Structure 1
Amino acid sequence: MEASTSSCSSPLSLDFLPPPFSPPLHRRISAASIHFRRHKPLSHSLYPNPISCTINSSSYLGISISPKTRFNSLSPSSSTRTRSSPIIASAFERFTERAIKAVVFSQREARALGKDMVFTHHLLLGLIAESRRPDGFLGSGITIDIARDCVRSIWHNNQKHIAIGLFAVDDGSAGRVLKRLGANINHLAAVAVSRLQGELAKDGREPPARPKRARDKLLPAKGTVVRYSEKTRDKSALAQFCTDLTARASDGLIDPVIGRDNEVQRIIQILCRRTKSNPILLGEAGVGKTAIAEGLAIIVSQGNVPVFLLKKRIMSLDIGLLIAGAKERGELERRVTSLIKDVKKSGNVILFIDEVHTLIGSGTVGQGNKGSGLDIANLLKPSLGRGELQCIASTTMDEYRTHFEKDKALARRFQPVMINEPSQEDAIRILLGLREKYEAHHKCKYTLEALNAAVHLSARYIPDRHLPDKAIDLIDEAGSKARMESFKRRKEHQARILSKSPDDYWQEIRSVQAMHEVVLASKLNKDDGASNIEDDRKLPNTSLPVNDDEPMVVGPDEIAVVASLWSGIPVQQLTADERMHLVGLDEQLKKRVVGQDEAVAAICRAVKRSRIGLKDPKRPIAAMLFCGPSGVGKTELAKALAACYFGSEAAMVRLDMTEYMERHTVSKLIGSPPGYVGYGEGGTLTESIRRRPFTVVLLDEIEKAHPDIFNILLQIFEDGHLTDSKGRRVSFKNVLVVMTSNVGSTAIAKGRHNSIGFLIADDKSTSYDGLKALVMEELKAYFRPELLNRIDEVVVFRPLERTQMLEILNLMLLEVRGRLVSLGIGLEVSQAILELICQQGFDRSYGARPLRRAVTLIIEDLLSEAFLSGDYKPGDTAIIDLDDSGNPVVANRSSQNIYSSDTTFS
């Protein structure tokens, strides 16, 4: 039956209705014409020769060709005729354009071969010719040279359906062609189905269900079922969600475990129990819990275990993989029960569950994690209790207390094994065992001193982590750094070679020839010792080129550089520049702090002791108490030290003790206790030190703090650490603690006067010791003995003299001049103005703060008024002097109406 249509250029939509690989359908449309309906535009270039196709009954997809028949629109009469066989009329109705194009190409291939019918191998050639993928037909590697281009994926029922139909034909010639080309028919069918389903999923459509007879056609010759849509069903739950540690150990993919024999034997002892043979490894993060389980896998693979464990396999369960993708209700439970079933069936599997606390509450159904819900842990309980499931678990002590101890039924099924942090000696032995692995990876060599340095430096300067993990990370990053430097060295060497001139190469050649001649001469005259000495003197001083392929050597200096990078603490060897910086630290501080030589010397001594390594490693760098009148430079000295040695003033942690005058404010330092607002946020002091462990802590006006604050300081000064509200230990071993206080100011003022009230001159040899004794008496009356006894040094600041005020004034004017530089304006101040400022700002009782107010009043206020009313532009210079009446005035350098006076500050 044929239907006449209009020309092929008319709009057509050819969408396929049922799957084309259904054998009943193909048999029902045998020896019949295929009808088309107008629906969607098609490119006329696809159909240069209109065709009419009939299905040959000898083959499912054999199509006869009639080149003279055209497709015309269905007339009412033809529609009536078609209605008698609707399946025939709609067979190709839902084909896409590319599917029709593939059929057209198959017609061309058949015609080129001199055939008047299209068989399955012609359709295969049409599919390959229509496709444009560079990796071959359906990714099989079949290219245009052997059969045409490969198929390219499109969105709906397309030529992939035809491909699936071809693969399902048992006696089709397309199958013989594919076999001759070396292609796997079942694999190509699976690829076609999976791509088709992916395209349908992107479009939000469900793939059509294949009839059972059609699925049976896709079975391999030996009857093994190939599941295309669910490939993972061919794998057991163990293979999907677990990793065989024993197999990895047999292949040498696991690092050796050293120094954990007692823990491994304890685990073996628990595993050999009749009931409750489930050890749980408890220890802090980084102590080696997972490594111990891997070490047990190594021992099992080597056969060094009791007979009971000889045939056991240790499988590591990936909890994330077990949960991932289980979005349907009951899917996670099905996976867990399948896993338990596979473990029971194998009979020789020991599960290793790392971070086992994540099982509690995972995939909870019902009441959540409140205890009555059904989660993974509750699914495992029956099998664990009956001994049908044997596992090794690991978690930290905090997680064990938080989760396991609350669930008594789960906790009693596990036997705890404590994993403590190894000693430094054991950590060194662990690094020695791992050295070969890391040397092979980084292509470098680790010295024994480097391994020792990694352990000692990590233990001292990285307190918030544990051995051996932090030491292993140190040598790992040091090896990575050495590898990068080796790469840079090779690049630089290549650049030097390319930049050399021919004369340089000839010079090297002559140098090598001269060395060769000297060596030959020394061999001829080897009996003459004197001549050998002379020949050695003739050796040129030039060295031979270095072999850039030689491995880099990682020593303790490279380890120290990485440790400094991690902690921010300078632990590497002193360089010449740093040594000069430390030697000149006193002079740098004296430029900012005037008249306090004793205080500067005391704080510099503490810094030098720490940098050389002579300080007590268990205590802070120093704990100092600065006492003296207000405004003499106590706070300024701490700022100057932070800027000159620690990098910037921002490196200083400053706490104003006037904010801690109440008892409850103690929690602000270490964090709020549980149940209070702010719990979990950390304390101001502890969090600052955790972020920057090498710094200056300034406790300003310490005498104004609540006495309970002093109890917190006792632990810092003596042990060098402080425990915050969350139980974390914060190290203060690389912190310089400075406290300032005005206690003793009265004693200092009284000590400078005689019994009848007259001011006495200072005796520099005895006055400082006398003032310090007076201050100590007053401190003992205010602070408790246990606090004073833990302070390294009490530094007394002297009252400022008039000459020192002039130096401080120059520093203040330098700051003003620096602010004017941003405006492009210079500043000059006369000597008369300096004397006026000192006269108004000098007060022995209040220090330099009145001087600052005088600078603001006389200099800054005068400049601001002049800039607003005058004509100042970048490049001008403001000159401040006194007029005839003694009042300060300011003008440009070009102005003539100011008092003429020599300027001393510019």
Structure 2
Amino acid sequence: MKYSELKSYVPAFRPAILVSRLISFRALRIARFLSLVVATVSVVLIVFGKVISFMPSGFAGILHRPLQVLAPYFFESLLLSIFVFLIIFMTTSFFNSYYFLGLDNGLRRVKRFGTYPKISYEVALLVSGSPDDDLILGFLESPYGRLAMKRAGILTDEFRDFLSKRRHKIDPASLEISSEQTLGFATYAFGLYEKDEEFSKFLFSKKIQMEDFRNILNWIDRNITEAKKSARWWSRESLGKIPGIGRNWAYGSTYILDRYSRDFSTTAFFRDAGLGRDDRRPEILELEAVLAKDREANVILVGEHGAGAMEIIGHLANKIEEGNTQPSLENKRVVLFDSTLFVSTAGNKTAFERELARVLNEAVRAGNVIVVFADLAGFISSAKTLGADAMAIMADYIATPNIQIIAVADPSHFHESIESNSAIMELFETIIMKDTRDNAVIRVLEDACIREEYRYGIFFTYPALRAISDSAERYFPSGVMPDKAIDLLSEIAPAVKSTGGTIVTADDVLHMVESKTGIPAGAVGKEEKARLLNLEKVLHERIVGQDEAVVMIANAMRRARSGVGNRNRPMGSFLFLGPTGVGKTETAKVLADTFFSNQHTIQRLDMSEYSTDDSLQRLIGSADTNHPGTLSSMIRENPYGVLLLDEFEKTSRAVLDLFLQVLDEGIFSDMHGKAINVRNMIIIATSNAGSDLIWDIMREGGNLETEKVRVLDALIKSNVFKPELLNRFDGVVLFRPFNASELQKVASLILLRLKQRLSEKGIGLEINTALVQMLMNEGVDPKYGARAMNRAVQDKIEQIIARRVISGALKAGSTLTLTEKDFANGV
């Protein structure tokens, strides 16, 4: 549709546009309310005056005279208020006759001013208010344009500054917007966006990409449509929601079932739960199709808790109540069976079997009942504790077309208790609930945030919703989407309100996430910025040599913190190869202490303990023994930090294959099939494999960086690691043995740590040449590297200190100075 054609439809809406500009609809609503109040009060007073005229004298007699005198005024006020109400009603009706045009997407076309408008009222309003030479100005200064900018998190001053500085404007003659149906607000506004390159660049500079802006426009357009549908109470859709009188009289009553169940259509929680779940549309349609079958129309919904099973059922119940479902499902009742109440009431096997048979018999006789079991596996298990077989009782009833069952099960219980039971699987069809995609999650959040906005008087920007969706998936491993995203949204709203804020931004979301998880998620502060930009220098304060490892780690940390890294993998993954005592494990500890501000964020596994056939089950858990798994529990409890895998080459092949997935996807599944997220971890695997070859290269005077391929080829040929596993790491680092000058630096660092430990007890330590030289003499061992120094500190220096503390020669407040004589005497 060209702009000239689009503009030709505007006169059809001109009367309504004129009314909207002359009259405030907020004032009309207030006037309508006041007229109704005045009319009601007038009627009450007129009736009261008539009633007291028949009452005996006394107090009534005192009021009778004044009311009789004022009666004409009451009658006049009644007529006046009715007149005002009718004027308002007719004005609103006149406006609505234009306002609702296009609501049915062209199915109900109305002729106006000799033409059939192909645009909505909102588009007509935008075009009529836009100068022909500046369509973007007309859009941005309109109420809808300002709302779009506010949803985008762009301030009024910012977009007005853009308007004043731009160089080019859209040529209306070149504007052409395609639309198969009535051209709505979102399609028109997005057409302007596509045509105006400066405007799109301006939005991009504000971190609003094309898909974001499209979603914002669709969000606003959807709310406009919903408001119109709500206001048009006389439409078939609205009137269809009013239940018919006696609609269920043709079906039997269910007095016994009603004791143990709740009706979805009459319970507010379930009725509201089904609203706004277009993300589950495929499952809803599949559920409806299965239930519409002639026989064995029963379903098991399989999904994690919070995946939206009850919302799907609630949506179907709403469709049935509104008469918008398939004919075979019309007049059906969807009820939630309270299995816990039923089992506790029965108490024993005989009562359980008898009462369950009565409930099912009653439902079959009624002929229009769909029974929902929120936890079928739990119900079967509870029946077994009483000695009853629930499925054996239910099987004959379920096979009939007069009763239908919807069961809900989480994946672990489904695989353990239900899938292996052929009797159950023959009667049910299975619907697997897949994870909700990002756009669908944001769509759910758009609907959910409207309720929070009304509740707290705040305003959510679209970037805030995007941050909620991303953060819920990235930083909260437990739970499923969109449930955990909705939970996060519900927490953010009151938090922002409590600080006096009115607009929820992406920064508000990230600060909330950071406070809840301890994971840096917000904007990089000055101190953190300085630390990240100089991370190599900071790490080298405690790591001697090993430049390649330090550079790789620093780069990985900067990528992760800036958000440019691959979010579907761990923050970083490295394999450290080298001899014992060259700083592989120490580097991981320094990283945890420096970047994560706490050495406790390091989770360490000695992989030599996982070399047997049962190692994989010990790590991820076993369904047979119900052992949760060391690695699974470790990551669930501490999802952020450093995962150190010592002696990685000694673990079993099955465990190495597990880490192929972990390094590539950042997730693995535990014994119950639940996903464990390791995308907020730095994974460092250490190995002594190839140490002999590294020593040979160093003795030959070779360069490890140029000889790395030779070392890795040797590991692959000796079947230590598969090439695909080595390729999964972000970096494989060769740690070389320390030279003499580096060993001296290591000695100083070890003594400095000892000094810090002594200072906590109030004892000072002078680090002098004799002390360092003793460590160099006693603690240098080419085979064990710096570990020999740690043993020398323990056996020589700490032994002397311990003797002096116990003897009383060394007390708090004193400073210890050791000489060569002290080491010679050992005291």
TM-score tier after normalising by the smaller chain length: 0.5 to 0.7
Question: Contact 1:747–1:774 (CA<8 Å) still a contact in 2?
Answer: no
Question: Contact 1:833–1:888 (CA<8 Å) still a contact in 2?
Answer: no
Aligned pairs for 1:720-731 within 5 A: 720-731=666-677
Residue in structure 2 matched with residue 41 of structure 1 by the alignment: none
Q: 1:303 to 1:698 in 2, by over 3 A?
A: same
Q: 1:837 to 1:354 in 2, by over 3 A?
A: closer
The reply on whether 1:824 has 2:824 as its aligned counterpart is no
What is the alpha-carbon distance in structure 1 between the residues aligned to residue 427 and residue 488 of structure 2? 38
The reply on whether 1:579 has 2:524 as its aligned counterpart is no
- The amino acid across from 1:447 in the alignment is T
Which of 304, 307, 310 aligns to 1:290? It is 310
How far has the Cα of 1:256 moved from its partner?
A: 0.7
What is the alpha-carbon distance in structure 2 between the residues aligned to residue 864 and residue 250 of structure 1? 68
How far has the Cα of 1:570 moved from its partner?
A: 3.4
Question: Contact 2:264–2:271 (CA<8 Å) still a contact in 1?
Answer: no
How far has the Cα of 1:355 moved from its partner?
A: 1.9
How far has the Cα of 1:558 moved from its partner?
A: 3.0
Residue in structure 2 matched with residue 740 of structure 1 by the alignment: 686
Q: TM-score, normalised by structure 1?
A: 0.57
**SS of the residue 2:817 aligns to:** strand
Backbone CA RMSD of aligned residues: 3.5
- The amino acid across from 1:396 in the alignment is D
Question: Contact 2:621–2:628 (CA<8 Å) still a contact in 1?
Answer: yes
* Residues 614-652 of structure 1: per-residue CA shift (max 9 Å, x gap): 222333233322233332211111111111122322222
What is the alpha-carbon distance in structure 2 between the residues aligned to residue 724 and residue 365 of structure 1? 28
Aligned pairs for 1:376-455 within 5 A: 377-455=391-469
Question: Contact 1:626–1:796 (CA<8 Å) still a contact in 2?
Answer: yes
How far has the Cα of 1:870 moved from its partner?
A: 4.9
What is the alpha-carbon distance in structure 2 between the residues aligned to residue 442 and residue 257 of structure 1? 20
What is the alpha-carbon distance in structure 1 between the residues aligned to residue 569 and residue 364 of structure 2? 57
Which of 222, 225, 236 aligns to 2:255? It is 236
- The amino acid across from 1:847 in the alignment is G
Which of 688, 692, 695 aligns to 2:638? It is 692
Q: 1:739 to 1:347 in 2, by over 3 A?
A: closer
Question: Contact 1:880–1:888 (CA<8 Å) still a contact in 2?
Answer: no
Q: 1:610 to 1:337 in 2, by over 3 A?
A: same
How far has the Cα of 1:790 moved from its partner?
A: 2.8
What is the alpha-carbon distance in structure 1 between the residues aligned to residue 275 and residue 326 of structure 2? 20
The reply on whether 1:588 has 2:538 as its aligned counterpart is yes
Q: 1:658 to 1:388 in 2, by over 3 A?
A: closer
Residue in structure 2 matched with residue 264 of structure 1 by the alignment: 284
How far has the Cα of 1:294 moved from its partner?
A: 0.7
The reply on whether 1:838 has 2:776 as its aligned counterpart is yes
How far has the Cα of 1:290 moved from its partner?
A: 0.9
* Residues 352-400 of structure 1: per-residue CA shift (max 9 Å, x gap): 332233332434597x2xxxx443x444444333434344333334434
Residue in structure 1 matched with residue 189 of structure 2 by the alignment: none
What is the alpha-carbon distance in structure 2 between the residues aligned to residue 412 and residue 774 of structure 1? 59
**SS of the residue 1:324 aligns to:** helix
Question: Contact 2:532–2:558 (CA<8 Å) still a contact in 1?
Answer: yes
Aligned pairs for 1:449-848 within 5 A: 449-483=463-497, 485-486=498-499, 489=500, 552-564=502-514, 569-672=519-622, 679-707=625-653, 709-753=655-699, 767=703, 769-770=705-706, 772=708, 775-776=711-712, 778-782=714-718, 783=720, 784-844=722-782, 846-848=784-786
- The amino acid across from 2:736 in the alignment is R
**SS of the residue 1:592 aligns to:** coil
Which deviates further from its counterpart, 726-735 or 627-636?
A: 726-735
Question: Contact 2:254–2:363 (CA<8 Å) still a contact in 1?
Answer: no
Q: 1:237 to 1:860 in 2, by over 3 A?
A: same
What is the alpha-carbon distance in structure 2 between the residues aligned to residue 620 and residue 861 of structure 1? 43
Question: Contact 1:249–1:301 (CA<8 Å) still a contact in 2?
Answer: no
Which deviates further from its counterpart, 340-349 or 832-841?
A: 340-349
**SS of the residue 1:646 aligns to:** coil
What is the alpha-carbon distance in structure 2 between the residues aligned to residue 302 and residue 271 of structure 1? 17
How far has the Cα of 1:738 moved from its partner?
A: 1.7
Residue in structure 2 matched with residue 230 of structure 1 by the alignment: none
How far has the Cα of 1:252 moved from its partner?
A: 6.5
Residue in structure 1 matched with residue 3 of structure 2 by the alignment: none
Question: Contact 1:656–1:700 (CA<8 Å) still a contact in 2?
Answer: yes
Residue in structure 2 matched with residue 314 of structure 1 by the alignment: 334
How far has the Cα of 1:603 moved from its partner?
A: 1.3
**SS of the residue 1:693 aligns to:** coil
Residue in structure 2 matched with residue 68 of structure 1 by the alignment: none
Q: 1:254 to 1:828 in 2, by over 3 A?
A: closer
Residue in structure 1 matched with residue 797 of structure 2 by the alignment: 859
Residue in structure 1 matched with residue 148 of structure 2 by the alignment: none
Residue in structure 2 matched with residue 876 of structure 1 by the alignment: 814
Residue in structure 1 matched with residue 322 of structure 2 by the alignment: 302
What is the alpha-carbon distance in structure 2 between the residues aligned to residue 840 and residue 237 of structure 1? 86
How far has the Cα of 1:242 moved from its partner?
A: 2.0
Q: 1:409 to 1:593 in 2, by over 3 A?
A: closer
Q: 1:886 to 1:278 in 2, by over 3 A?
A: closer
- The amino acid across from 1:473 in the alignment is D
Which of 337, 346, 351 aligns to 1:326? It is 346
* Residues 658-677 of structure 1: per-residue CA shift (max 9 Å, x gap): 334445545433345x65xx
Number of aligned residue pairs:
572
What is the alpha-carbon distance in structure 1 between the residues aligned to residue 262 and residue 420 of structure 2? 30
What is the alpha-carbon distance in structure 1 between the residues aligned to residue 733 and residue 431 of structure 2? 52
What is the alpha-carbon distance in structure 1 between the residues aligned to residue 529 and residue 318 of structure 2? 50
- The amino acid across from 1:393 in the alignment is A
How far has the Cα of 1:425 moved from its partner?
A: 2.1
Question: Contact 1:281–1:417 (CA<8 Å) still a contact in 2?
Answer: yes
- The amino acid across from 1:448 in the alignment is Y
Q: Give the gaps of 5 or more residues in structure 2.
A: 1-252
**SS of the residue 2:318 aligns to:** helix
Q: 1:876 to 1:329 in 2, by over 3 A?
A: same
Q: Give the gaps of 5 or more residues in structure 1.
A: 1-233, 490-550, 755-759, 761-765, 891-906
Which deviates further from its counterpart, 420-429 or 839-848?
A: 839-848
* Structure exhibiting the larger radius of gyration computed from Cα positions: 1
Question: Contact 2:689–2:715 (CA<8 Å) still a contact in 1?
Answer: yes
How far has the Cα of 1:768 moved from its partner?
A: 5.2
- The amino acid across from 2:440 in the alignment is D
* Residues 56-108 of structure 1: per-residue CA shift (max 9 Å, x gap): xxxxxxxxxxxxxxxxxxxxxxxxxxxxxxxxxxxxxxxxxxxxxxxxxxxxx
Q: 1:380 to 1:773 in 2, by over 3 A?
A: closer
**SS of the residue 2:436 aligns to:** coil
Q: 1:303 to 1:837 in 2, by over 3 A?
A: closer
What is the alpha-carbon distance in structure 2 between the residues aligned to residue 718 and residue 390 of structure 1? 44
What is the alpha-carbon distance in structure 2 between the residues aligned to residue 666 and residue 306 of structure 1? 49
Aligned pairs for 1:193-208 within 5 A: none
Q: 1:566 to 1:378 in 2, by over 3 A?
A: farther
Residue in structure 2 matched with residue 33 of structure 1 by the alignment: none
Q: TM-score, normalised by structure 2?
A: 0.62
Q: 1:374 to 1:877 in 2, by over 3 A?
A: closer
What is the alpha-carbon distance in structure 2 between the residues aligned to residue 650 and residue 321 of structure 1? 45
What is the alpha-carbon distance in structure 2 between the residues aligned to residue 296 and residue 887 of structure 1? 87
Residue in structure 2 matched with residue 189 of structure 1 by the alignment: none
- The amino acid across from 1:788 in the alignment is L
* Residues 202-247 of structure 1: per-residue CA shift (max 9 Å, x gap): xxxxxxxxxxxxxxxxxxxxxxxxxxxxxxxx99334432222212
What is the alpha-carbon distance in structure 1 between the residues aligned to residue 631 and residue 523 of structure 2? 30
